[in-house]
Each structure stands twice: as C-alpha cells, then as structure tokens.
Amino acid sequence: MAIPKQKLAVAVMVTNPENKLLLVKAYSRGWEFPGGYVETGESITKAAIREVKEESGIDIELARLCGIEQDIARSICVFLFQGKPVSGELACSYEHLDVGYFSVEEAMRKISLKAFQQRVVRCLQQDSQPFVIEM
C-alpha cells in the first residue's frame, strides 16, 4: 500500500480594527483570503503568517484557528485562521492583481467563487468553530 500524499494549505481571514477583511485578487480565482501551500519543513502557522506577508505586505498575528476544509478529490487540506494586522503596508505581490481591506458586505460582493463566499461565512461564525468541512 502506498502512503497517501496530502497537500497542506492555509488561508487567513485578516480583520483590521475597523472589522474590514483583507482580500487579494488572484489572476484566475478573483478575490479571496490570502493564503497558499505549506512548504516542506514549515509549520502551518508560520506558513499562514508568511503567505499573508508575501501576498499583501501585511505582517499579522494569528488570533485563532477557524477550521479545516478538506478537498477529498484533490487531497488538499486547507487550515483557516483568523489574524490581525500588526505592521506593514498594503502591497500587491507578483501573484495578484490587487489587494485591499473591505467591509464584509463589500467582500461578499467582490468574491465571485461560491466556495470562497462560504469560507467567509464560516470564518465569521465563531459559535460553530472550529469546523471541519469535507468536500
């Protein structure tokens, strides 16, 4: 029996003091939380902090684990965190078209993928966390 290969990824709902959400605009997926794959030898929390910095220019502190989404068909587990900005200035990475903070209502209008809209809703519902979603 072969040992299965799972990919680990992170996504972070960064909320600023005005309760606005940090979003990045990817070339193919549109607006979403910053995030990406965990590198070999890297912790999940360090990957979350690194990805936000790389994609948005913002240094964060993680506040909590919101939950896990498992894409069974693609063998990917996404760890979703909430974070708060501690320093840095908004800056777009080479991977993205734009970056910004948006109210929840604005964010929901900007995010075009239903799965990413559902992610926002789940991350905002603290009374049902941590969640595990299997797709």
DSSP label of 130: S
User: What percent of the chain clears pLDDT 90, i.e. is strictly above it?
Assistant: 85
Q: Is there a contact between 110 and 2 (Cβ–Cβ < 8 Å)? A: no
Q: Is there a contact between 134 and 67 (Cβ–Cβ < 8 Å)? A: no
Measure the CA–CA gap between 71 and 58, rounded to whole angstroms.
Answer: 28
Amino acid at site 133? I
Domain extents in the chain:
7-128
pTM of the model: 0.92
56-92 in b/e burial notation, b at 16+ Cβ within 10 A? bbbebebeebbbebeeeeeeebbbbbbbebeeeeeee
* pLDDT confidence bin for 117, thresholds 50/70/90: very high
For domain 7-128, the CATH superfamily is Nucleoside Triphosphate Pyrophosphohydrolase (3.90.79.10)
